[in-house]
Amino acid sequence: MKQSQITYWCHEIIRSQAEEGGYYIDATMGKGNDTLFLCELAREKGKVLAFDIQQEALDVTKELLKTHGKEMQAELILDGHEHMDRYAGKESADVICFNFGYLPGGDHNLATTYRTSIEAIGKGLGILKHGGMMSLCIYSGGDTGFEEKEKILEYVKALPGKEYTVIVNEYYNRKNCPPMPVFIFKE
């Protein structure tokens, strides 16, 4: 496997569910790995919006996309994902991808926080089209603590079952707070 298992797995699930050439949102750009993956899925006719609150994330991602000839495919937005409704229309996106936590190698104080994360998930669900999916990769432990994970799990558990299917995955035999991938499918 070329990528870390968690990223690889989330990408494979997204790829298996999403049609190529669609409209995708990366809600946490970071170093651009998910943005690049979504750009590859988008191909020439699709598009990608990507959000981060740090200019460093936009700079690194821009370079990564350039290296792969994908810089025209994505719009990189310096704003919090809790404002994504200002940039994206209702019920339009095929996939919205969240990878919570902090920028690898960056300032841990600029990590995602549960209030804005939950606000963004709620807005994202309104932006997702019917048949679309949201991928959440939740980290916990260490600097991150457990609050964000617990609050997000509480929130997604309360989503109405007739409108959304929520699948929570677990690395069952791994120690040290492994990441938790969650997939939400909008009916």
Q: Which residues bind ligand SAM (CB under 6 A)?
A: 28-34, 51-54, 57, 80-82, 99, 101-103, 110-112, 116
Whole-number minimum distance, CB 18 to ligand SAM, in Å?
17
CA angle, corner 101, sides to 50 and 71, nearest 5?
25
Nearer to ligand SAM, 76 or 156 (CB): 76
**Helix residue spans in the chain (DSSP H):** 5-17, 33-42, 55-67, 114-127, 147-157
Nearer to ligand SAM, 100 or 163 (CB): 100
CA angle, corner 15, sides to 173 and 110, nearest 5?
65
Residue number with the smallest Cβ distance to ligand SAM: 30
CA distances from 110 to 1, 39, 52, 80, 142 (A): 30, 25, 10, 11, 15
Nearer to ligand SAM, 86 or 162 (CB): 86
Whole-number minimum distance, CB 115 to ligand SAM, in Å?
9
Nearer to ligand SAM, 30 or 130 (CB): 30
